[in-house]
Structures are given as structure tokens and as C-alpha cells.
Chains A and B, each alone.
Chain A
């Protein structure tokens, strides 16, 4: 199951805070898909995942919208 999070229109630190909240409610190995318009979130989600032991499966940009797919650490 993939949890979806719309963080478009929000700036630092809200995409990370909302992602953390979502991840907290998920089980290990579950997927979180985040959409953001914050250019800084590209580097931020890399750090967030490295720090938390989560896997950043995808990081894409299309027309100013950044999409991240994160697999929660087991």
C-alpha cells in the first residue's frame, strides 16, 4: 500500500514535517509518495532518508512538481 502526501505550495520545513507525520503512522516497508513544489526538498528528502534509514526509491521533477517515493525502514 502506498500512502500519498500532497505537500505542494509548502516551503521548508513543512514537507519534511508532514512526511515525518505520515511515516510515523505507517508500517515498516510501506511506501510514501510525496508531491512537493519546494526545490529544496530534493536535497532535504535525501538527507531525511539517509538519516532515518528509509529508502528513497524515486526522486523526479516534472513541471516544477517534485515527486518522491520513500520506502519506510523496516
Chain B
């Protein structure tokens, strides 16, 4: 009974559909027409009654939202924190009276780091639990796997992790960074005088869609900036790769004479052996800094950071960002983890995806309030241009391309697993789902166009 408005709409629908089957003779037509009119009237009345009943019950009926993060399997290490964050944001909103006077009720499912299960669980959330919105996914593979489910059923997904771009779905809001908000400015920083004026780049990544696409864009960008082909190396390792001897040896040779930087899109558990080998073979951050796009505070707290200190990372938020709302946010998060007896309690840290997951919930709440409804299409339109004072500073949802305007921060890894911010962008960077380097003629807009469009046309 929760979805009464849609019920009454479907009654009307069937009524109009049956009118198309009107009989052949005129009298039949008239008689049937009268019956149909009466039917429609009754249906509308029932619908209104339903609506009225619903609005009466609204104070009690909570809004269901879905949380689609792996709680077991390889990705649990990262995704569990996002579930906690979303739950914390929900608790905050509920404590202040919920949305549209209704409480939010989270429905948590565990896709267990299994890409097929992601699609199945998404279907369950949308069709069986009929949630108003889903917060979830981490890896690009999982996002690609649920994408058709959300598009087919017109669901709404808030995706909180930086990704490779080249996507422009009407049903996804990307609160993480696009490539031009992380990887591209990071390399621009390394090339700048302030960043060290590096001239040679070793692109190293795990072998899957995110590193491959990111490096494709970075290579195009470096070539466009007149870096010679010989000064760019590109290499991939399989998932869970442990033996980095040869690769570090290659980096050593490549960086001899200085001026070289490593751009790492290595993901997950391969990072530790890589950084360890790098340090053990006598390479220092001064010889060749590694700038990483997948190493954040939450991953660092499980690592021995002695080998990582001095290397760089690029994100849109760090726990060390000094804003009053961030201090509050970090304290709240630690308190929340402690209160709920989550593992490691108040030793937990916040990082970029955690912040993105957090403000995603608030953006959705604001949009629902603006739209006055939880209807996906209405909420979606209300999200465009929505602003929120996130822990890292005010962010803005793009007025058309489903992504988020965010600041870009380059940080240096410290021994305690935190980051020292060494460079920050001037203001917010506009997201470009289609990179100007690899797809200069493509754009993404759901207001003036239907999603991805050709700029030439």
C-alpha cells in the first residue's frame, strides 16, 4: 500500500487502454464509452481516496532507501565504511524529522563483491523492496553490472567513488570525481613548476576498466602537452599481483637521471607489495614520486605506512581538510562508529568516497524536499544544480550532466596515514564525463540533450 499514487495511476492507465478496444458499432461504442467514463470516474475517485489515505498515513509510513555495498568478499574492506556512512547520514536526517515528514528506512543488501549478484540485488531493491533511491557500488565493474537494471526500471543510484568517466546515465548521480577532477589535474600538477616539473611518466595500473580508461585519457593528455611518446610508459598487472620486482626494476631504469613520476592506478591488495618493493629497492619519493588515485585514508589505516610516506595522492577530500563542518563530520563519524560498536570504533577515519557517500544522501534529501515527492523523475530534476555544504567545502551538482562540481586536492602521505594537502584547485572543477582529450566532440547533458550528445551536430 506504500505506493498508492502509482496504483491509482495504473488503474487509470488500464481504463484508458481498454477504451482503445472500443466495439465496432456506434451504439456499442456509446454504451461502452459511458461505462468507461463511469469506470474512470470511479477509478479516479478511488485514486483520490487512496491518495488521501496515504497522505493521512504519511506521518508513519517511512521512505525506503537501498544500500548496495559489499559487506563480504574482497571489496568489503572498502565498502563497509560506505554503508556505515550512509547509515549515519540517514540517522542524522531522521533525527531532524526525516524527509517530507517521513522517516527514512534503509534496506541493506550484501552483493558480496560478486558482480552478477550486484545486478540481482539491485533488481530486488527496485522491484521487490520498491526503494526510492539506492546508494551503492564501488568498483566500476559493479556499477556497469547494475546500470541496465537501473535504466530499465527507472531507478535512482548515487555512486560515490571516483571513476573513469565515459558514462552519462540518466539514472545515476556520480558524487565521486570524473577523470578531469582527479587524474588529469594530478598530472598537470606534477608537470607544473610547483609540483616538481616532471617530464617522464610511468603509468602503472591493475588490469581492468578504470586504469585502462584513465591511462588512455592521461596518455592523450600527455601527448597533447608535447610529452614525447618515449617518455611515457604504460604497464598493467593482474588483480592481486604480488611480485613487483621486475616492474620496480623497470621504474628504476626509467627514472634514472630524475624527472620521472609514477602514476599509479593500482587497486586493492597489490598496493602494499608495490610500495614495499619500491622502498626496498632503494627508490625514494624524491627520486620518483608515486601519485595514486586509489589510496585513501581508509586503505592506509590497514597498511604499514613507513614505505608510503612522502608519496602523493589526488582526491577531492581528505580527513585533514580544515573546515569547521569537517571537524564536526569526522568527530560525528568516529562517535557513530563507536556508538554502534563497529569494528575499530573511534579509530575509524574518513576519506573521499566516505565524504561523497555522505553528501550524496543529503543531496537526495534536499532534492526530495524541493520536488515534494520521491518520484524518481521529479527528484532527478530537483537534483540538478543542488548545492550542499559538504565536509570538504560546498559542492554543487551539475545542472545537466549528473556529476558533481568538486575541488581537487593533491595530498602527500604522512607517516600517520593522513594527508598533508600540498595543492588545491581554485574553486570547484566542473565535471566532464567525456574527456576533452579522448572524446573532444562528446558531451553529456540531460536538460538540453538526451544524455550523451555530439558537440559537432
Whether A and B are associated in the same complex: the answer reads no
Q: List B residues at the A interface (Cβ < 8 Å).
A: none
A interface list, Cβ under 8 A from B: none
